[in-house]
Structure 1
Amino acid sequence: MSDSFSSETILQVHELQKTVPTSDGELTILTSVNLEIKKGRTVAITGVSGSGKTTLLSLLAGLDTPSSGSICLDGQRISDLDEDGRAAVRQQRVGFVFQSFHLLPHLSALENVMLPLELAGERDAHGIATGLLQRVGLEHRVKHLPKHLSGGEQQRVAIARAFATSPDILFADEPTGNLDMHNSARIADLLFTMNRERGTTLVLVTHDMQLAGRCQDVYTMENGHLRLRERS
């Protein structure tokens, strides 16, 4: 893969490597990963537990740094930035949905969605957050704390929060992993519908092949290597 960056490309990864120290020496988690994602695409990364897919997602989102190789987000080489620089990129360009929701327990549903807007200096944080919670069907739960919401409701709050700042790219790590079948289907529908409505690029990690199959591109992690699955 070349280092040139197309205007249609939002994410480009070149020869990515991640190793971590252990008591037995260095452990290689990712080996020579190359990836290019076009704007507006939906992409799934699958693989068994321990294959490196969540590590890869953390690197792509700027939550961690690679041992070697490069990551460019919309032309900006985020793998060269320090933590403050990566945090600024995440705040301005990136949305997240996690398996365990990651809502702040002392804030209401509305306040959780307002928080990234307030951090971004949005003057109408209340109005935007209220509208997003209506969009995910939780207008009647805006004042509830996370502990008073079901798992499916918490994930809907998390999705509303993820889209609050109109990110260019949204990363989802096992977004339905903690939910029952009914709520999993509802959350998946909501995630893909809102992603399509807002023109966001979606990159999700999942072991659920049915969920992965809804994406335009499906990759598999195997022993630290990434490969594109051929469509049948």
Structure 2
Amino acid sequence: MAGGELEILKGINLEIKSGEAVAIIGASGSGKSTLLGLLAGLDEASEGRVVIGDTDLAELDEDGRAVFRAREVGFVFQSFQLLPALTALENVMLPLEMQGNKDARQQAEHFLDRVGLGERVDHYPRQMSGGEQQRVAIARAFAAKPRILFADEPTGNLDTATGDRIEELLFELNREEGTTLVLVTHDLQLASRCERQLTLEAGEMVAS
């Protein structure tokens, strides 16, 4: 930057086991979302390595990381990130079709049913509540059978009761599908449900 170098994260060293549920917590500006972006291959680290399974993300170019994310990684965002012109079913089917999955419709219908939206497959995001949209996003994330799921404040835009239901759904699918879950949250109650909490303070890990 014009005023000098801005160091967002420093000295981060962590290992997350397959199937584990881990929460990354910390104050706003502590580097939580940046760390999530690096772990997911959405951003590139200026130094260090991020390895998922046997794949070193630093050895992949942008296209290679995109292919890897499509095959191995799922996302649930605070803002849902649904395509407004597509129905719930089409939103869930889209990443499956991009993978060339011949059973995309059947798989999408299965996971929409799993999240309690089997009767809403033809509804558009604007016809759904925030909690219903987040359930579509969760179905979309799990339908692709990712090795690891990253969730950035998954209950942040929801009321308490709806957030609790989304929380239950995330952990239920995490257990049943064996998917590694890494979530960023300021909700300490949500974080406490994970097997481990990683605390960031000014870009450094201060507890784990």
Query: What TM bracket, shorter-length normalisation?
Result: over 0.9
Among candidates 54, 59, 67, match of residue 75 of structure 1: 54
- Paired with 2:67 and 2:138, the residues of 1 have a C-alpha distance of 20
Aligned counterpart in structure 1 of residue 109 of structure 2, from 116, 130, 148: 130
Aligned equivalents of 1:182 and 1:29: distance in 2? 34
Report deviation, 1:79: 2.1
Contact persistence 1:217–1:228 (CA under 8 A): no
Query: Where does residue 225 of structure 1 map in the other structure?
Result: 204
Q: What are the Cα deviations for residues 97-134 of structure 1, in whole angstroms up to 9, with x where unaligned?
A: 00000001110000000001100101111111011100
Which residue in the other structure is 2:124 paired with? 145
Aligned to 1:183: 162
1:200 and 2:179 are equivalent in the alignment: yes
CA contact under 8 A between 2:125 and 2:133: conserved in structure 1? yes
TM alignment of 1:1-232, pairs within 5 A:
22-229=1-208
Which one-letter code corresponds to 1:63 in the other structure? L
Distance 1:121 1:227 in 2: 43
CA distance in structure 2 between the partners assigned to 1:82 and 1:152 by the alignment: 36
Asked if the contact 2:112–2:136 (Cα under 8 Å) also holds between the matched residues in 1, the reply is: yes
Q: Return the offset for 1:227.
A: 3.3
Aligned position for 1:9:
none
Whether the 8 Å contact between 1:44 and 1:206 is mirrored in structure 2 is yes
Displacement, 1:140? 1.3
**TM-score, reference length from structure 2:** 0.98
Kindly tell me the number of residue pairs found equivalent between the two proteins. Answer: 208
Residue identity opposite 1:119 in structure 2: M
State the Cα deviation string for residues 206-226 of structure 1 (Å, max 9, x = none). Answer: 000000000001000101001
User: Aligned AA for 1:73?
Assistant: I
User: Structure 2: which amino acid aligns with 1:39?
Assistant: S
Q: Counterpart of 1:170 in structure 2: which amino acid? A: L
TM normalised by structure 1 equals 0.88
What stretches of structure 1 move > 2 A for 4+ residues in a row?
A: none
Higher relative contact order (CA 8 A, sep 6+): 2
Q: Tell me how far 1:164 sits from its aligned partner.
A: 1.0
Give, in angstroms, the shift of residue 80 of structure 1.
2.5
Q: What's the secondary structure of 1:27's corresponding residue?
A: coil
Q: Is the 8 A contact 2:37 2:43 kept in 1?
A: yes
Counterparts of 2:51 and 2:206 in 1: how far apart (Å)?
A: 19
- How far residue 156 of structure 1 moved from its aligned partner, in angstroms, is 0.1
Deviations 1:134-182 (A, max 9, x none): 0000011111111111000000000000001100000000000000000
SS in 2 for 1:35: coil
> Residue 200 of structure 2 contacts residue 207 of structure 2 at CA under 8 Å; is this kept in 1?
no
Percentage of identical aligned residues: 62
The answer for unaligned runs of 5 or more in structure 1 is 1-21
